[in-house]
Amino acid sequence: MNRFAGVQGPDLEAGARVKMDAGELRGFFREIAAEHPLSDLQFICIGTDRSSGDALGPLTGSRLRAYGIEAVIGTMPDPCDAETLRVKLEQLPEGKIRIVIDACLGADSNVGFYLAARAPLKPAESVGLRLPPIGDYSIAAVVNRRSPKPYHTLQTTSLHLVMQMAEEIAAAAAAAFGRI
């Protein structure tokens, strides 16, 4: 059962995040696909290739491109990180529905799950940075547990888990839009 489908109304509009596994994430993308053609979307995959935990965004962006989804900002060769985010956002085409994907730290019970919403995401919030909220839809992938040293935690996060989660996100999107 897709828990995202059961949450409606003002809660989601206010930014309520719904915990999902990979199967439920496929349902999340199917709902987006039912409302918007792929040509109306822009994927923004936030992160850096210099940290295993924070590589989720560019890994996802590269996988989306491999599936033939071209409207992607943030890939392994050209990451969209805290330093480049504002410039890249200024270059985005107007009128696109934005799906933002980023790694985050969270409760032990959420590691390996996704927190999805019909709402913007605040990039780099788990490491204490204040960047503008972005997106019409968002997915925060919980790659490790919250800790007092978030940068260290992201640096020592399992690359295997991050790569698996990036593939699950990209495959869910690609399947919803008929790319696989």
C-alpha torsion sign, points 124, 125, 126, 127: positive
Position 14 scores a pLDDT of 45
Pairing relation of β-strands 137-145 and 72-73?
A: unpaired
Position 10 scores a pLDDT of 30
Position 43 scores a pLDDT of 98
In a domain, 45, yes or no: yes
In a domain, 47, yes or no: yes
In a domain, 1, yes or no: no
Q: How far is CA 12 from CA 62, 85, 119, 164, in A?
A: 29, 25, 7, 27
In a domain, 122, yes or no: yes
Residue by residue, pLDDT tens for the chain (180 residues) are: 333 333 333 333 445 889 999 999 999 999 999 999 999 999 999 999 999 999 999 999 999 999 999 999 999 999 998 888 889 988 888 999 999 999 999 999 999 999 999 999 988 766 667 778 899 999 999 999 999 998 899 999 999 999 999 999 999 999 999 998
Position 15 scores a pLDDT of 58
Residue 91, strand partner residues: none
Position 127 scores a pLDDT of 63
Q: Which amino acid is at 80?
A: C
Position 64 scores a pLDDT of 98
The domain total for the chain is 1
In a domain, 56, yes or no: yes
Q: Please give the residue range of the domain that contains residue 75.
A: 10-176
Contact 40, 69 (CB under 8 A): no
**CA-closest candidate to residue 85, choices 129, 123, 42:** 123
61: domain CATH number?
A: 3.40.50
Pairing relation of β-strands 72-73 and 41-45?
A: parallel
